[in-house]
Structure 1
Amino acid sequence: MLQSPRMLLVNLVIKIITLIITGPCGIILNSSIVAVHLRHWKKGVSLGDCDQIILIKGFTNVLLQCFLTFSGTINGFQLYEHFDNNYFLVAYIVFFLSSFWFWLTAWLGICYCLRLVNISHQFFFVLKQRVSSGIIQLLFGTAVILGMIIFPGFWTFDIKAKQNTSIPLSIDYFIFKGDSKCLSFNAAIGFCLPTLLNSLCIGLSLTSLLRHVQRVKKNNSQSWSGKMKTHARACVTIFLLMALNLFFFATVIIFAILQFSSGTLLDTFFWTIIMACPSGQAIILFFGNSKLRSGSLKTCF
């Protein structure tokens, strides 16, 4: 289908507006999350394992939004030829941060699950102790392992420019080629495995909450403790974060596989979704955490 010069201009304007909105919004929202937790830490408040994960998650999202904005600028104005294969350093960082983003959500789900689920098995007790006392070491180890796994695959990438004859303005578009086995393995480790772990944790957490509801009904009690409300809200938050992660992953896969020509409506649509995801994560965290909301207001005002 031919793309008119007017349609090309409209899509370019949409991309520029998206960059102007999502860049500052993602950075400001996630910086607020970081600022709230650093403010508590500065006051001497001990940060729990979940708070530490959310702090690192906010910082990761700030970096991801910066690199997505930079990458989006290259994509929007088709500047690949000025970077050659050096562009893949940016692509590697985006892929790494996105994978780490998935694993942070998985670790957050694991921490909430360990808090909520009561299992008397010794292994569960040891795991709970190890995670709560060494969460920073676990996250650092996760980041190092992800970096070592993902980096080799990006040496197989190449960018090839082709003339887009379907567009009257003769704009070049770019094809990304790489080793499909490496990509599949990286996707399995970086996206699929943490999603499976997250699904398991959500299932166990919801089962525990349902058992509590049954106990309340059995005892003819109308009480629904504030602690259980907090746990229920945490489960919803983890589920929404996981759903957003899956939506982001599916969008990236579709965007990469179909290789839309720049200037098409589908290219702009999927590209806009990718740019907005770090902001979406921050919004979910704010709605799911009342302390984070109130702390953000105090930090700003």
Structure 2
Amino acid sequence: MPESMLNVESTLMMIATGEFSMGVLGNAFIGLVNCMDWIKNRKISSIDLILTSLAISRICLLCIILLDCFILVLYPDVYTTGKQMRIIDFFWTLTNHLSVWFATCLSIFYFLKIANFFHPLFLWMKWRIDSVVPRILLGCLAFSVFISLPVTENLDDDFRRCVKAKWKTNLTLRRRDNKAQYAFIKLFLNLLTLFPLSVSLISFLLLILSLWRHTRKMQLNATGCRDPSVEAHMGAMKAVISFLLLFIAYYLAFLVATSSYFMPETELAVVIGEVIALIYPSSHSFILILGNNKLRQASLKVLWKVKCVLTRRNF
């Protein structure tokens, strides 16, 4: 392998490791704060349960993506075996769907709790949401497992081997024969993640509509615009729009990593796609921390203690 290629791969691996560390730190902080509060109060709120489930799924997703990067760069022979990679593909598909669905649950929860509509269906869902959150999360887990089990049967052999052995004639012919089947499988998997993205987008648009109606009502009543309802709307909209933007970037990176099966320089394309994909589960956790009052206060306390420790060491 040329030295320039090794330098590029080393740089990409360093970036991936940094993104992984930041992502694990942020998501572990969310899970730790909520679990400590759960133990202290012997109960957990619906929003904390969703955030904790989301944080755990993203920690697992970060581990799988980084592991796949290291295997591709450092242990390429594993890519030609197929058996070990099927396990990684299963957990990647599982954690990917879990992360997306849990984030969608968070968007729906924000919408139901903050939006102001008087439709009977909306009011019924608003009243029932707290009691059904655990069952919804379990349903997301069951659905993700259901999706992940069959995809590992036909996903690995052609893609994984051709990543490292495109030059082999028999594999090239096999890849050509199964190209349509592989493309259909990947297209189907990618389209499945568009459904929760669409649900989150609808929630965001309805939040905008609710905010517009609320501010218009306040203007007609000649009241100020800065009230708790407006602030809650804005906070929820920031959380949802950040998820949508980051997920779109993640989705495009995921397409790059998977569609690189049909491109030259497959290995480098996969690594670049995975490095970009790490941005979504790594950075969104910090946006959630800043948007949640309890998590934000806990993070400020931690930063204050760290500052005190560093100050004492300097003196």
Under TM normalisation by the shorter chain, which class is it? 0.7 to 0.9
- Corresponding residue number in structure 1 for 2:91: 93
Equivalent residues, number: 287
The reply on whether 1:27 has 2:29 as its aligned counterpart is no
Alpha-carbon shift at residue 31 of structure 1 (Å): 0.3
When normalised by structure 2's length, the TM-score is: 0.82
Q: Whole-Å Cα distance in 2 between the matches of residues 101 and 160 of structure 1?
A: 28
List runs of 5+ in structure 2 lacking aligned partners. Answer: 168-174, 306-315
Once the two structures are TM-superposed, the CA of residue 47 in structure 1 deviates from its matched residue by 3.4
Query: Given that residues 153 and 183 in structure 1 are in contact (C-alpha distance below 8 angstroms), is that contact kept between their aligned partners in structure 2?
Result: no
Q: Who is 1:215 aligned against? A: 217
TM superposition shift of 1:53: 0.8
Shift in CA distance, 123/263, structure 1 to aligned 2, threshold 3 Å: closer
Check conservation: 1:35, 1:299, Cα contact below 8 A. Answer: no
Identity across the alignment (%): 19
Aligned-pair CA distance for 1:163: 4.4
RMSD in angstroms over aligned alpha carbons?
A: 2.5
Matched, 1:193 2:191: no
- 2:272 matched residue in structure 1: 269
Give the structure with the larger helix fraction: 2
Q: Kindly state the Cα deviation for residue 39 of structure 1 after the two structures are TM-superposed.
A: 1.7
Deviation track 1:40-72 (CA, whole Å, cap 9, x = no partner) reads 212207533222111111111111111112111
The corresponding residue for 1:168 is none
* Structure-1-length-normalised TM-score: 0.85
2:287 counterpart of 1:290? no
Match of 2:170 in 1: none
How far did 1:27 drift?
A: 1.3
> Cα offset for 1:230?
2.5
Aligned to 2:45: 48
Deviation string, structure 1 residues 157-181 (Cα, Å, up to 9, x no partner): 213245467xxxxxxxxx7976433
**Shift of residue 202, structure 1, vs aligned partner:** 0.7
CA distance in structure 2 between the partners assigned to 1:222 and 1:121 by the alignment: 26
Structure 1 gap segments, 5+ residues each: 166-174
Amino acid at match of 1:63: C
- The structure-2 alpha-carbon separation of the partners of 1:227 and 1:212, relative to structure 1 and needing over 3 Å to count, comes to closer
Identify the structure with bigger relative contact order (alpha carbons < 8 Å, sequence gap 6+): 1
After superposition, residues 67-86 of structure 1 pair within 5 angstroms as 67-77=64-74, 78-81=76-79, 83-86=81-84
What does residue 161 of structure 2 align with?
Answer: 160
Give secondary structure in 1 for the equivalent of 2:118. coil
2:11 paired residue among 6, 11, 14: 14
Matched, 1:235 2:237: yes
Runs of 4+ deviating beyond 4 Å: 162-165, 175-178
CA offset at residue 299 of structure 1?
Answer: 5.6
**How far has the Cα of 1:114 moved from its partner?**
1.0
Q: Are the counterparts in 2 of residues 33 and 296 from structure 1 also a CA contact under 8 Å? A: no
Contact 2:79 2:161 in 1 (8 A): no
